[in-house]
Structure 1
Amino acid sequence: MQENAQTELNVPRKENLITFDDLGLNKNMLRSVKEAGFTIPSPIQVASIPFILQGRDIVGQAHTGTGKTAAFGLPALNNIDPKSGVEILVITPTRELATQVSDELFKYGRGMNARTVTVYGGSSYKRQIDLISRGASVVVATPGRLLDILKKNLIKDFTPSVVVLDEADEMLDMGFLDDINEIFSYLPTNRQTLLFSATMPKPIKLLAERILNNPEFISITQGETTNTDIEQLYYVIEESERDDAIIRLMDSEETTKSVVFCRTKSEVDRLSNVLSNAGYLANGLHGDMEQRQRETVIKGFKNNSVKVLVATDVAARGIHVNNISHVFNYHIPFDPESYVHRIGRTGRAGTKGKAITLLTPLEFKELQRIKQKVGTSMAHAYVPSKTDLRSTTIDNLVKKVEDHKIYDEAHKVLDKLRQDIDEEQMAYKLISMLLDQQDIKGPNSIGIPADKIEAILARAAQRKDTRGRGRSRSGSFRSSKSRPDRNRSGGYRGTTSRDKNRSSRAR
């Protein structure tokens, strides 16, 4: 793969005066843009659409929620003939994302009668193949089911001219890299290939070298891997305080729709029950659930009958639902890429979002590693106490009373109360009754006290400073020649215990 000079946009949205009319789309696509309610194209759309219209291969790196589906969907549909069979193939990591992308592309291509079919496991092969054979222009597929279909030669004359890898890094994380490589062995070499990814780990770069031809590399990252529209906070707590901390933070934050990420399926089940018992419209999502159950939960999350989605990383991949105000990390994720994908569920399409991470003092090193690797800005905050929350509750209560509708029957209650108590006492009693309804659960204080936090932060800064002074001008450690480096098993890199055993056997 010969890589062109990278195109990198760092233009603030308010200065972006380019419209969709300037990008070269035909009348059908411009009509679709208008019907979709788009006004000003996002940076990834501005950078990608002209190259795709020219037939160029591209590698697009942009945050989740920046309009990547329209960035490849509009120009890909722009050039197709709806009567020529499958011309566009989009490969996505999950069923949920496949369904969402398929819905989007159907809307964009509706004006030109471009049929879209979604292909994923857990549904009938026969029905999916039948829908494609009836004249589909676009196939959106997950890797496993698509590879099965190609191996069995179930689709005749399957020669898409445009192939899109959407969320390529998520496919890598989910173990689909071998499947992707095999899929491309069945596809025509004379094709246009578009690869989109939020992050660019080395395996994705190597994949791009194999499957793309002289691509344009487009990066819309603004210096950070994470979205700058997302406020990122972390709270240092004791391990036993996680449940209380999540509930207290949800009580104190103005959440509209939230995702809480857990590490295990059992943790998802338990925490979703805890939050439901605390009065939240919560439901869990994980890989052991039946497809119908998953679809029901996601549908509920989209239509607001579920306000809090508690999920594992794998289950939540590809869930791109708008208006998610908060992402909570019940545990800090294992790696920086997972952190990027998790918080990318919020702050989408130019909206503001908030990402909150809970961690114990023992996990502080993991936080530092994520901050350094991702290059993100994360601020420390303290979990509000009951006293703090009570003050917020009073302000909210005043606003609710001021805005509340007055019912016709209210004067009857007022007249009866006046017979026994004066109006001042009446007001105090009614307000106290409302305050009783504002139940604040959990202990008064949650989290590590300020003095201990300051000590932790000071030690972290000291370690960082010590590492900096320990390096020579060339960047290597001064002591690296005089002291061998231990490997994780406790041996030395120069001679491991396994090497010694081999040496003994050789003798």
Structure 2
Amino acid sequence: MNFNQLGISEDIVKILKNNGITEPTLVQSESIGLIKNGRDVIVESQTGTGKTLAFLLPIFENISLKIDAVQALILTPTRELALQITQEALKLKQAKDVNILAAYGGKDVGSQLKKLKTGIHLVIATPGRLLDHLERKAIDLSKLKTFVLDEADQMLLMGFKNEVEAIIRETSKKRQTLCFSATINSDVKRLAYRYTKEPLEVTVNKEEVTLDAIKQQVVETTDRKKQDALCIVLNQDNPYMAIIFCRTKRRADELEAALYKRGYNCEKLHSDILQSKRERIMKSFRNGDLQYLIATDVASRGLDISGVSHIYNYDIPESTESYIHRIGRTGRAGEEGYTCLFIDPKDRLRLEEIEKAIKFKIPRRDLGEENNGYK
């Protein structure tokens, strides 16, 4: 099925083609028609499966430029994700002149308030900043047609449940509600079913999305020797662009300082870094000016960056879902990806849990001299 058959207009299809998108992904094929027809949906789909366009395309089709009101709201947990969705929306704006407001922290409130007076059709926001606008009575959601809760699992994990519920109370009871989440656990399900009407569930298989095109390996080391082991691997692989995941902001800070001292082209990305700097870092990484992005899970959630060939898990993720999320940022669009997980003895139990869940015993990578070019 192509985009035309899904009811996407020719002008928008042309924009997609200009951006190298010719065929819909599985989640787009299964969701677009339902959303365009006004159905409530709950979608379980990993980062990198094309879910942003799965909701943006039908939203653009359904917005009426004749109605001077906020018709669609996309609520997302992080500023990076809000910015990324906004960039996708601005590309589609070339085909249909939808007025878009990105409302997230770190941006000047004054300029957002000024823009709100110009008649906005689509708002892309983080919970805190949107509530701020609602309290100022700057945004009216009473005529809202479509509400998207993006990364619902992360929204709950970051403690935004009360904010989400406060925002929903400001919307029209007649609205269409779309819930997108990488994992649908009982908490997400409870939240989604409370605010949707007879929703249809769409699930995209995890393994199919994330693991087929990715070569996975494990390096067994100790916490004391982990930094040296990482550097040996980086020197052997010399990837074009890679993400290195750390468990905490402090670990990311320490690793960035150590790698920078050793001469690696790297920057860290986490929630304590000023928004303007985060945007600059992401821009230079996307442009290929930065080789290594050292990130925490929260800061990197939802980042869809093409060209990432290697993912290094400096610290083992907290869960299998998190592992799949992290490594799913490579092996995109038919390209092969590579991921390497560094573990010390205390991580063995969690590694066994991950291997059991993905039904795959991850091969060990030997850093001995004889294997000096081994990938």
Amino acid at match of 1:59: I
Q: Does residue 1:76 correspond to 2:59, yes or no?
A: yes
Residue 224 of structure 1: CA displacement? 6.6
Q: Is the 8 A contact 1:224 1:376 kept in 2?
A: no
Amino acid at match of 1:297: I
Residue 356 of structure 1: CA displacement? 1.5
Alignment equivalent of 2:48, drawn from 65, 75, 95: 65
Q: Which residue is 1:432 aligned to?
A: none
Alignment equivalent of 2:26, drawn from 40, 43, 46: 43
Q: Does residue 1:115 correspond to 2:99, yes or no?
A: yes
Cα 1:378–1:278 shift into 2, 3 Å:
farther
Alignment equivalent of 1:284, drawn from 259, 265, 268: 268
Cα 1:202–1:227 shift into 2, 3 Å:
farther
Cα 1:261–1:235 shift into 2, 3 Å:
same
* Residues 412-468 of structure 1: per-residue CA shift (max 9 Å, x gap): xxxxxxxxxxxxxxxxxxxxxxxxxxxxxxxxxxxxxxxxxxxxxxxxxxxxxxxxx
Amino acid at match of 1:328: Y
Q: Does residue 1:183 correspond to 2:160, yes or no?
A: no
Taking structure 1 as the reference length, the TM-score comes to 0.70
CA RMSD of aligned residues (A): 2.1
Q: Which residue is 1:445 aligned to?
A: none
Structure having the higher helix fraction is 1
> What does 1:432-451 align with in structure 2 at a 5 Å threshold?
none
Q: Does residue 1:102 correspond to 2:94, yes or no?
A: no
Amino acid at match of 2:263: G
CA distance in 1, matches of 2:338, 2:156: 26
Q: Secondary structure at the match of 1:247?
A: helix
> What does 1:190-229 align with in structure 2 at a 5 Å threshold?
190-221=174-205, 226-229=210-213
Alignment equivalent of 2:227, drawn from 236, 243, 254: 243
Larger radius of gyration: 1
Cα 1:274–1:383 shift into 2, 3 Å:
farther
Residue 19 of structure 1: CA displacement? 1.7
Q: Is the 8 A contact 2:45 2:181 kept in 1?
A: yes
Cα 1:228–1:324 shift into 2, 3 Å:
same
Residue 280 of structure 1: CA displacement? 2.1
Residue 242 of structure 1: CA displacement? 0.5
Q: Which residue is 1:311 aligned to?
A: 295
Q: Does residue 1:142 correspond to 2:142, yes or no?
A: no
Residue 157 of structure 1: CA displacement? 5.6
Q: Which residue is 1:33 aligned to?
A: 16
Amino acid at match of 1:69: T
Q: Does residue 1:155 correspond to 2:139, yes or no?
A: yes
CA distance in 1, matches of 2:154, 2:292: 23
Q: Is the 8 A contact 2:310 2:337 kept in 1?
A: yes
Residue 161 of structure 1: CA displacement? 0.6
Taking structure 2 as the reference length, the TM-score comes to 0.93
Cα 1:301–1:222 shift into 2, 3 Å:
closer
Q: Percent identity?
A: 36
Q: Is the 8 A contact 1:272 1:310 kept in 2?
A: yes
Q: Which residue is 1:383 aligned to?
A: 366
Q: Is the 8 A contact 2:259 2:266 kept in 1?
A: yes
Amino acid at match of 2:88: E
Residue 254 of structure 1: CA displacement? 5.0
Q: Is the 8 A contact 2:4 2:10 kept in 1?
A: no
Q: Does residue 1:320 correspond to 2:336, yes or no?
A: no
Q: Secondary structure at the match of 1:380?
A: coil
Q: Is the 8 A contact 1:61 1:199 kept in 2?
A: yes
Amino acid at match of 1:346: T
Q: Secondary structure at the match of 1:279?
A: coil
Runs of 4+ with deviation above 6 angstroms = none
Q: Secondary structure at the match of 1:139?
A: strand
Alignment equivalent of 1:365, drawn from 327, 349, 356: 349
Amino acid at match of 1:43: L
Q: Is the 8 A contact 2:85 2:124 kept in 1?
A: yes
Cα 1:198–1:28 shift into 2, 3 Å:
same
CA distance in 1, matches of 2:314, 2:25: 32
* Residues 337-360 of structure 1: per-residue CA shift (max 9 Å, x gap): 322332232233443322221111
> What does 1:291-302 align with in structure 2 at a 5 Å threshold?
291-302=275-286
CA distance in 2, matches of 1:96, 1:168: 15
Give the count of matched residue pairs: 374
> What does 1:391-470 align with in structure 2 at a 5 Å threshold?
none
Q: Which residue is 1:336 aligned to?
A: 320
